Amino acid sequence: MGECGAGGDVNSNVLLAARSTGDSQLDRAVRQWLSWDKNPKTKEQIEILLQNGKDKELRDRLCCRLTFGTAGLRSAMGAGFCYINDLTVIQSTQGIYKYLERCFSDFKQRGFVVGYDTRGQVTSNCSSKKLAKLTAAVLLAKDVPVYLFSTYVPTPFVPYAVQQLKAVAGVMITASHNRKEDNGYKVYWENGAQITAPHDKEILKCIEECVEPWNGSWNENLVDTSPLRQDPLEKICDNYMEDLKKICFHRELNAKTSLKFVHTSFHGVGHDYVQLAFKAFGFKPPIPVPEQKDPDPDFSTVKCPNPEEGESVLELSLKLAESENARVVVATDPDADRLAVAELQENGRWKVFTGNELAALFGWWMFFCWRENSSKDADVKNVYMLATTVSSKILKAIALKEGFHFEETLPGFKWIGSRVKDLLDNGKEVLFSFEESIGFLCGTSVLDKDGVSAAVVTAEMASYLETKNLTLAQKLIEIYELYGYHISKTSYFLCYDPPTIKRIFEKLRNFDAPKSYPKACGPFNILHIRDVTTGYDSSQLNNKSVLPTSKNSQMITFTFQNGCVATLRTSGTEPKIKYYAEMCAPPGQSDKTFLEEQLQKLIEALVENFLEPRNKRSHQTDKRSLLLHSCCLSRKVISKLSAPLSEMSVMPKRAHPPPFVLEQYGVEVVLLWECRRLTPG
């Protein structure tokens, strides 16, 4: 960090003089925070911790910094250099300014885009809008033109605006679908895609060199007084809705459809923009969920504002759909960059589609529409679809049969966006891209996932299928029967202990001997292994991964002889070990039950052999260290367990599939697999 700035109020100076932590690094960090922070709420949080002798928490908050994950900087709101707050956003923007000034000679002519969602926290006096204004203030004080949206917008509007306005870069203040306590700082490059290496690392270096706020960085009034500030809202919204029509293929049919649609925006930004998107496609407006259509930073009607959690968070939407006789529900997450879809089935039950299932539908639909609307001499070999490597291989199967190209990228839409731009620059046509966590990109007007466009494309696809007497679920079965069933399961472990995570992955790299990967997982033989962390890929002649090496995260993929592909990786935004497993069957193998059973057995073997729940006989069991398969754990079930409820971490119910939750307090781990306890030994 830089040298401590002069100043600080009298109370802070007295407090600093009265108490030292005994740790010179921590004392310096405390001095810097109390000197630099002008937010009374977050400044007081540090003062109280100092006064009460909470040195460990002070160290946790002040002696590490935010780093770029798969979706930019993201953390809880609150005081500290590793939290999202006024000061860290100012520091981050100063670092970005320094880096962009180095990269672009025309930076002060082209400008910078800033958008924000509806998040906020009273206890830290921190909100997305305020953080966006501070971001703009830092740049305006340095005579940089800033395109700051006058109200909240979907995340896709920022990368779209960067391209439309020919800005050098942009920032979206959002934590997407994260818990209400979180916020984030998502950076886009001039190409309209999220930043990747080396930009992320170079920006972090510049942030470290610019930690003391500059004169003018705290001056929010510049947003209202500077002639360099412009509001791009009307232009960008109009242009976006016009570009959206490029992927509308049945406008007349849309206007006549008998289908009704319900939309929920999960208390976020999506309501107004999804309404406009449906209008652009010729639809009647979707029916909004009244309790969830307006912004609410507390997300008061859901435990978790993540539509991927399934029926448990879609309860209000499904009830409204039933009362309105609407068969399809579309749900955008709080920043409207992701989409969940539910459809009422003939048996009266709702099917909530997984991200991989929706991708199969979108992939079929976008290729079908391309073929229907292309000239006879259109070259299918010029067509591409993309997916992240942890996502379903269904697009690969479709591409092999239909003759177009399919490519994989590393996890995170930043890699997809950059690759799409490269393909477009080389004259290729990209129809569809996705990641399994319900992130979809139909077309290429935006180079990031887009829940608004995905919602209205879903409506058009469902309306077309209705004319063929087909539902989305029925069409999905047809797709799998034609291209091969792809049965997948995705879930995660929560682990707050980084050494434990590292040990798990290092064990896989040194399984039976040093630098030796496993040859089998239980009864399942392994065909290939790809370790993106180290750059190893046994399927390549030179044993080198085609995907870029990513040493800052853990990811190993196992390809089995039975057609299953399984990946273990760490999350870039949350303390999770995620797993992705998929059984890829050839066309004609339609025994879905058998495939599901095989996949389940493999997942059980994966947990049993690679996460070692039994292999610690010599240690005492720490009752607090529990791994729960929380499909729908009731208090009655929990009460039978040996540890009290207060000592467990149980995540909300999730429909497809249930998560695992790991609280690591000591060396011993007890695994509950489908509520069956497996004790050590």
Evaluate the CA torsion angle 616, 621, 627, 633 in order and state its sign. Answer: positive
* pLDDT, tens digit, 9 for 90 and up, residues 143-191: 999 999 999 999 999 999 999 999 999 999 999 999 999 999 999 999 9
* pLDDT, tens digit, 9 for 90 and up, residues 270-324: 999 999 999 999 999 999 999 999 999 999 999 899 999 999 999 999 999 999 9
pLDDT for the residue numbered 18: 53
* pLDDT, tens digit, 9 for 90 and up, residues 58-117: 999 999 999 988 778 999 999 999 999 999 999 999 999 999 999 999 999 999 999 999
Confidence of residue 659 (pLDDT cuts 50, 70, 90): very low
Measured between alpha carbons, how far is residue 418 from residues 157, 182, 195, 421 in Å? Answer: 17, 26, 8, 5
Q: Please, are residues 32 and 66 in contact by the beta-carbon 8 Å criterion?
A: no
Could you give all domains of the chain from N- to C-terminal order, each with its CATH number? 1-63 (no CATH), 68-231 (3.40.120.10), 241-482 (3.40.120.10), 484-611 (3.30.310.50), 613-681 (no CATH)
The answer on pLDDT for 334 being more than 70 is yes
Quote the tokens at residue 141. Answer: 């004080």
Catalytic residue chosen out of the listed positions 12, 127, 176, 488? 176
pLDDT for the residue numbered 9: 62
pLDDT for the residue numbered 613: 53
The CB density around residue 454, as the number of other CB atoms within 10 Å, is 29
pLDDT for the residue numbered 577: 84
* pLDDT, tens digit, 9 for 90 and up, residues 355-381: 999 999 999 999 999 999 999 889 999
The CB density around residue 215, as the number of other CB atoms within 10 Å, is 7
Residue with tokens 């929560």: 494
pLDDT for the residue numbered 12: 63
Question: Is 176 labeled as catalytic in the residue annotation?
Answer: yes
Q: Which is higher by pLDDT, 612 or 294?
A: 294
The answer on pLDDT for 677 being more than 90 is no
Confidence of residue 127 (pLDDT cuts 50, 70, 90): very high
pLDDT for the residue numbered 442: 99
Question: In angstroms, rounded to a whole number, what is the distance separating the alpha carbons of residues 549 and 182?
Answer: 29
Question: In angstroms, rounded to a whole number, what is the distance separating the alpha carbons of residues 444 and 424?
Answer: 9
pLDDT for the residue numbered 612: 62
Question: In angstroms, rounded to a whole number, what is the distance separating the alpha carbons of residues 507 and 470?
Answer: 49
Average of per-residue pLDDT across 573-584: 86
Confidence of residue 413 (pLDDT cuts 50, 70, 90): very high
Share of the chain above pLDDT 90, in %: 78
* pLDDT, tens digit, 9 for 90 and up, residues 16-60: 655 788 889 999 999 999 999 999 999 999 999 999 999 999 999
Q: Which is higher by pLDDT, 8 or 440?
A: 440
The mean of the pLDDT values for the chain is: 88
Q: Please, are residues 146 and 111 in contact by the beta-carbon 8 Å criterion?
A: yes
Confidence of residue 643 (pLDDT cuts 50, 70, 90): very low
Radius of gyration from C-alpha coordinates of the chain? 25
* pLDDT, tens digit, 9 for 90 and up, residues 487-508: 999 888 778 888 888 899 999 9
pLDDT for the residue numbered 678: 30
Confidence of residue 13 (pLDDT cuts 50, 70, 90): low
Average of per-residue pLDDT across 581-588: 92
Question: In angstroms, rounded to a whole number, what is the distance separating the alpha carbons of residues 233 and 223?
Answer: 15
Query: How, if at all, do strands 339-344 and 676-678 pair?
Result: unpaired
Q: Which is higher by pLDDT, 259 or 12?
A: 259
The answer on pLDDT for 642 being more than 70 is no
What is the 3-state secondary structure of 117-143? Answer: CCCEECCCCEEHHHHHHHHHHHHHCCC
The answer on pLDDT for 424 being more than 50 is yes
